Structure 1
Amino acid sequence: MIGSHGLRDELTAGGLLKDYLHVLRDMQMQLTAALEFLKPHIDLLESLVEGPMKAENCTMGTGPSHMEKTPKSKNTPCPYSSQSQEPVSRGATACPAIAGDHQHTFSQHPSESNSVKVHIHVYGETLGAHKAVLARLPIQESSREDCRLILVFCPVVSRVGTDIEVALKDVPANKGVILIVMHHTFDQNYTTNPRIPQSSATIVQSVNILFHESRGGVFQCGANEQAITQLKTALSQYI
């Protein structure tokens, strides 16, 4: 057997210990270089993190002036409820969540002297889209007896002609009617020219509006803009 001294002599003579020593020294140099590289980066990050915290601690106080809470703003009630089919007065605050057309709000309504008294008749479910149309028109809501025009919103459910005929059934003949046919569609380029059935109602203007709740309500498209322009032109004859 080889004793401990003999083993050491064998390793030393073969150069194994010397090679291992070189490996350890190389590792030591690499670790030292890595530490020297990391130290300034660590110092910089610590200064960036601790600086704002110290500044915040310095500015915070314990007096009453620092403990005041900002009063919570009171949200203006939405002029329409999700269950209501009838809009409120035209001077109401806008409700963008259901308005559909985000570019226009109720705050843009003209004064009463530049608006037309209308009665709103919504036949069927528009999913709130008719409110976006109303928000852009110079109108005041009025009773059927006191109004100058009746705005009839007719969403298409089965057949256009049949739905329009039913929507106009209860409209009095002694009032002018603006018929707004609401088309529930995904396609903002949808085109239609529905036939208006014979009715005792006096229709002074009819337009088509495209809408879908998944697209924000009333589409912001050329067809709808043209319809809004036609509605404003028709209403201007009664101001």
Structure 2
Amino acid sequence: MDRASGHTEVGSFEECDYCLAFCPIASRVGTDVDYVLRRIPADKPTVLVLMYHTFRGDYVVPESGRLVDARNVGLTVSCLFHEGELLKCSCNDIAWFDIQRFLGLPQVRIGSADRIQGSGVAGFLR
């Protein structure tokens, strides 16, 4: 995100207004989510992005909002990716729309060439 959107990446939890956390699902959803959430202060509002590795754009994921019971998580979405790239699919379109709406951003469509950088807590934002 950039200054034009009103959201800027900062360097620490202390400086941030909210966290954007990416959670790759490698084993069991609950275990993977707990691992990521333990690294985020409980007082920081968080957007949690559950990342499912698959090559199928029609892969069915569990209802993401029901999988997380943490008070600081204001939004949980699911995304599908393969080999470091988001798939072009309705699941990802819905997730991106929900994130933009939750953060009060103008509605902008993402492209299938967008890359995923790293995992875990990806950014501290203000």
Which TM-score bucket, shorter chain as reference? 0.7 to 0.9
How many residues end up aligned between the 2 structures? 104
1:211 match:
81
Runs of 5+ in structure 2 lacking a partner?
106-125
* Residues 134-180 of structure 1 deviation map (CA, whole Å, 9 limit, x = unaligned): xxxxxx21121111110110000000111001110121111100000
The structure with the greater share of residues assigned to strand is 2
SS at structure 1 position matched to 2:49: strand
Aligned residue runs from structure 1 range 53-68, under 5 A: none
Q: Alpha carbon RMSD of aligned pairs, Å?
A: 2.3
Q: Which structure is higher in RCO with an 8 Å CA cutoff and minimum separation 6?
A: 2
Normalising by structure 2, what TM-score?
0.73
Aligned residue runs from structure 1 range 28-107, under 5 A: 90=1
Instruction: Look up the equivalent residue of 2:90 and give its one-letter code.
Output: G
Per-residue deviation at 1:221? 1.2
SS at structure 2 position matched to 1:150: strand
Distance 1:179 1:148, change over 3 A: same
1:168 match:
37
Aligned residue runs from structure 1 range 102-181, under 5 A: 112=3, 114-116=5-7, 140-142=8-10, 143-181=12-50
Per-residue deviation at 1:114? 3.0
* Residues 90-138 of structure 1 deviation map (CA, whole Å, 9 limit, x = unaligned): 5xxxxxxxxxxxxxxxxxx5xx25322xxxxxxxxxxxxxxxxxxxxxx
Moved over 3 A (4+): none
Instruction: Look up the equivalent residue of 1:115 and give its one-letter code.
Output: G
Aligned residue runs from structure 1 range 18-29, under 5 A: none
Larger radius of gyration: 1
User: What is the aligned counterpart of 1:182 among 19, 42, 51?
Assistant: 51
Per-residue deviation at 1:220? 1.1
SS at structure 1 position matched to 2:39: coil
SS at structure 2 position matched to 1:180: strand
User: What is the aligned counterpart of 1:230 among 92, 98, 102?
Assistant: 98
Counterpart-to-counterpart distance in 2, 1:113 and 1:187 = 34
SS at structure 1 position matched to 2:95: helix
